[in-house]
Structures are given as C-alpha cells and as structure tokens.
Amino acid sequence: MALIDGMSRLLIDGKLTPGGAGGFATVNPATEEVLGEAANADAVDMDLAIDAARRAFDGTDWSTNTALRVRCVRQLRDALQGHVEELRELTIAEVGAPRMLTAGAQLEGPVTDLGFAADTAENYEWTQDLGHATPLGIPTRRSVVREAVGVVGAITPWNFPHQINLAKLGPALAAGNTIVLKPAPDTPWVAAVLGELIAEHTDIPPGVVNIVTSTDHALGAMLAKDPRVDMVSFTGSTATGRSVMADAAATIKKVFLELGGKSAFVVLDDADLAAACSVAGFSVCLHAGQGCAITTRLVVPRARYDEAVAIAAGTMGSIRPGDPTKPGTVCGPVISARQRDRVQSYLDLALAEGGEFACGGGRPADQPAGFFIEPTVIAGLTNEARVAREEIFGPVLTVIAHDGDDDAVRIANDSPYGLSATVYGADADRAAGVAARLRAGTVNVNGGVWYSADVPFGGYKQSGNGREMGVAGFEEYLETKAIATAAN
C-alpha cells in the first residue's frame, strides 16, 4: 500500500502529524492479520483539530469563496480517482468489503458523488430576493441568504466508511464549512488516506479539514460537547446517536443523525414469491449484512410462509462467506471479533426465543481465520421477537408472516426504526399504495434503486434526523439568514 506505508498520520491544521497516544493496529477482518498502525489521537490532538477548524472558518475566506471550494472538492475527487486501485485494495483489506462492492457504494460511487456536491455549490441560489413588502407598514426589501453552519464535527462508523466519510465531507465543504472528521477505530486508514491526499493533492487550506483517528470514543463526545463546534454530523448506532444528541444539548448545536435500521421487505400476495424472497436473501448477504438500510425482516403472506422461508434459505444457504479479494464474493467477514460475537449472541437469542434456523446459524467451519458468520434465515418468530426488533448487523434475515396488506404495513411500521423498506407486488399501483403507507426514509418498489447522489437518504423515527445526499443533504450544512433592509 503506497498511500500508507505501515503507519498513518492525523491531519491537523494542514499538517500530517503522529498521534499523541502513539499508534494502534488496524486489522484485516478476513485474515485477522495486522495491516499496520494508525495514528492514535489523544484529547490534546482533538483540541488542536477543533481549534484549527474554528480558526479556518473564522479567519479565512473559505466560507465565502465558492469558486475555491468547488475547485478543492473536485481536486479531492480527482486525487481519489487517481489512486482508486490502491484505495480498492485498502478498502478490501481494512473494511473486509467484497471487491464487487468497491465498484459502487464501497468506493467508486461516493468518490464520483463528490462531483455532485461541487456542482450543487456551483449552481446554488445562495441569495434569494423576496422583493419589497411593507410588513408593519414599513417599506422593506427582503432577501434570504444561505451560508455555512460553521465548524462541523463528523463522526462516522466502519461499515461503508468511504461512503459515509465522503457524503459528509463533500457537501459540508462545498457548503463552506470546516470539518473535524473522527472515523471509527475499526477503519482508520480509509480516513487517514483522505488526510494524505488532501494535504498533498488539493488546495484545501490548512485547518479546513482535520482528520483525527483514535481508539478513544470520547474524542467523538468531545466534538459533540465543544462550544467551538457548530454542528455535529453523526452516523452510527442509535444508542451512540442518543448520547451524541444529549452531549450536544448543552450548546444547542445542530445535530444531524443517520442511525440504525431494522427495515422490512414486504412481499404482497400477488408477488412473484421466488423472485422476491431470493432478492431479499441475496441482499442481506451483501457486505455480510453490515448495511444500515439492508432489509432484514422479510414479511411474507402467511399462506406461503414455509415456501418463502425455503426460497430465502435456498439463496442464502448457497452463498458461502469468504475471501473478499475474490471477484465473486458477495459476503465477506464482519468487521471484528466483537461484531462477530455480537451477531452470534443474536443467533443464540433467536433459538432462545423459539426460532429455528432454515440455514446457517453460526461460524462457517471452512473459515478458521477471519470474522465470518454464515448467512442465516430465522423462521418461526413474530415481529415481537427481539431478533425482529433489534439491529443485528450481520447476514441474518428474520421471516415474519402477514395476513394481508394492512397487516403487512402494520408489521413493517411496528419498529422503533424507519430507515428503509422494500415492497414487491405484481400490481404496481397496489405496491405503490403500500409503499406510501410505510414510515421509512427510502422505499424500493419491485427492485427500484434509491441509492444515488441526487437522492436524499435518511431515517424516520429512531433511524435519525435529517437527510444525507441530494440537495437536501447539501442544505443540512447551511444556515438561513433573512436580511430586511428599510427601503423608500
């Protein structure tokens, strides 16, 4: 790996620096081998990073120089594209991402999407003229100005790290903010390379982007609490999101949250059951189920429950978890021993709750090393079971029976989460009617794809606040100022 030679560095105030707490190992989840060391920041580093971001926002023209920002975001995209093959190998090695996914959301998609953020800033109507009026009898000219929020603290997880890091960096920078990025300790290098490319291949001024890798989750909490930070943009679990929101409360900073999910795949009774259930089974295996929007509850007509379970198990039982470097691998490892054990504890819980496995149920015998879990179908439970209500974040599908469209909608919506959903049905109008009743931020009908730079993504209920991507995702990083000038 030429971008990082065994040791990565922090980016603080434009300089690549070692971590105050030394280094920590980053591990290949498919082999359990140590790839090398990441810089381990301490609280002093985080303080310096916040200070640098604050000074860059307050003391430079970054927030008002749109042309500079557009150029810089495009430079970052070009630098990433220029190193895409090295980044691909790094992503496969550190994230355990199957090679095939690096052509999309695991790498190339979010890199290309930086162009959307730059284009949005370039074409944005920063000032809107509302014209003259006489509110309270006083002749006034009114305009509405959109401007950057200020210093953004970005806190990200490990599952799709390029996608999540860049879907924050791109719009936040294009909108005129400065940033401190604190990535997950499980995937530090994919964030650290951003620091190296920014420092060496872009005109992004010192302090505008700071990248702080660390094993210490408390550095994330520092970002949420610090009065110098104007906004915290968090992606991760709902439990941590709750803590971030509480920490941000003292300073009333803007809080943007992309959290967990337990999304439903609803199969209506006129659907092609074989097609629907095999798509559901296949998609839960992608990246070993470590996607917040993956549909992990398969909600099928009661009369065809056994058939649906058999189809899903046929698909998932035929997908062997394995080497993510191979082009044909769909299901790689989960990120860590901790995550593997967490998934296993949910599998144990499924049995304790009275469920049964139609396939899978544990660690694959043919993978002695690496954090692998067999694709698993859980049958025989209702939507009340904990494995149907809590996020497992592994290749695990729970199949639930419904008694018609109204009941399917009730079950799909009976969740603390509301991130995504899928509906399959032969009658397109009926399927669209069901989709309209689902309380979720994105809905796929009959295989439609919502993942795209111009489509807002985010959650209802405890899946989050706000939207990432699309123009809505750009506007999350803007304040709104109304200017009223007395006129005669």
Residue 258 annotated to the active site: yes
In angstroms, give the least distance from the CB of 385 to ligand NAD.
19
Q: Which two tokens stand for residue 365?
A: 């015998």
Nearest to 175 by CA among 231, 209, 243, 124: 124
Beta-carbon contacts of 349 under 8 Å, excluding residues fewer than 6 positions away, are 386, 387
Contacts of 79 (CB under 8 A, 6+ apart): 197, 198, 200, 201, 202
Q: How far is the CB of 387 from ligand NAD (least distance, A)?
A: 15
φ and ψ of 297, to 5 deg: -115, 115
What is the rounded distance in angstroms from the CA atom of residue 457 to the CA atom of residue 263?
14
Closer Cβ to ligand NAD, 148 or 259, answer by number: 259
Contact 475, 176 (CB under 8 A): no
The whole-angstrom separation of Cα 117 and Cα 131 is: 29
Task: Pick the closer one to ligand NAD by CB: 62 or 158.
Answer: 158
Considering 258, 374, 391, 468, which one is annotated as catalytic?
A: 258
Question: Which parts of 302-336 fold into alpha helices (H)?
Answer: 305-317
Instruction: Name the residue number minimizing CB distance to ligand NAD.
Output: 220
Q: What is the DSSP string of 169-217?
A: HHHHHHTT-EEEEE--TTSHHHHHHHHHHHHHH--PPTTSEEE---S-T
Tell me how far, at minimum, the Cβ of 114 lies from ligand NAD, in Å: 18
Give the residue with the Cβ less far from ligand NAD, 116 or 357.
Answer: 116
Q: What is the closest distance, in whole angstroms, from the C-beta atom of residue 417 to ligand NAD in the complex? A: 9
Considering only the C-alpha atoms of the chain, give the largest distance between any 2 of them, rounded to a whole number of Å: 82
d(CA 298, CA 448): 17
Nearer to ligand NAD, 229 or 319 (CB): 229
Please give the residue ranges that form the binding site for ligand NAD (CB under 6 A).
155-159, 164, 182-185, 217, 220-221, 224, 235-237, 240, 243-244, 258-261, 292, 391, 393, 419, 459, 463-464
Contacts of 286 (CB under 8 A, 6+ apart): 98, 101, 294, 330, 331
Smallest distance from ligand NAD to CB 117, Å:
17
Residue 45 or 405 having the CB closest to ligand NAD: 45
Give the C-alpha separation, 22 to 30, whole Å. Answer: 25
Secondary structure tally for the chain: helices H, strands E:
15, 22
CA dist 395 and 243 (Å) reads 27
Give min distance, CB of 465 to ligand NAD, in A.
11
Closest among 153, 170, 336, 184 to 257, alpha carbons compared = 153
Q: Which is nearer to ligand NAD, 183 or 470 (CB)?
A: 183
Between 374 and 391, CB nearer to ligand NAD: 391
Q: How far is the CB of 473 from ligand NAD (least distance, A)?
A: 11
**CB-CB neighbours of 470 under 10 Å:** 19
Residue numbers annotated as active site? 258
